[in-house]
Amino acid sequence: MAVAAKKKSGNKGLGRGLDALLGDAPRERKGSAQASEQAEPSSGPKRELPIEFLKPSADQPRRIFDKDAIEELAASISAKGLLQPILVRPKGKDQYEIVAGERRWRAAQKAKLHAVPVIIRELTDEETAEIALIENVQRVDLNPVEEAAAYRRLADAFGRTQDEIAKAVGKSRSHVANIMRLLNLPQKAIDALSAGAITMGHARALLGSSAPDQACSIVLKRDLSVRETEALIREAEGEIRSASTGGKNGKSKGNTKVSSAPKDADTRALERDLSAILGLEVAIEHAKKGSGSVTLNYLTLDQLDDICRRLMGARA
Q: How far apart (Å, rounded) are the C-alpha atoms in residues 26 and 37?
A: 10
Contact 77, 105 (CB under 8 A): no
Collapsing DSSP to helix, strand or coil, 43 comes out as coil
Helices 200-207 and 187-195 sit at what angle, rounded to 10 degrees? 170
Q: How far apart (Å, rounded) are the C-alpha atoms in residues 69 and 72?
A: 5
Q: Is 102 a catalytic residue?
A: yes
β-pair type (281-286, 292-297): antiparallel
Tell me, what DSSP letter sits at residue 141? P
* Choice among 37, 102, 127, 285 that is catalytic: 102
**Nearest-CA neighbor of 66 among 32, 117, 18, 35?**
32
The total number of residues shown for the chain amounts to: 316
Contact 48, 118 (CB under 8 A): yes
Positions marked catalytic: 102
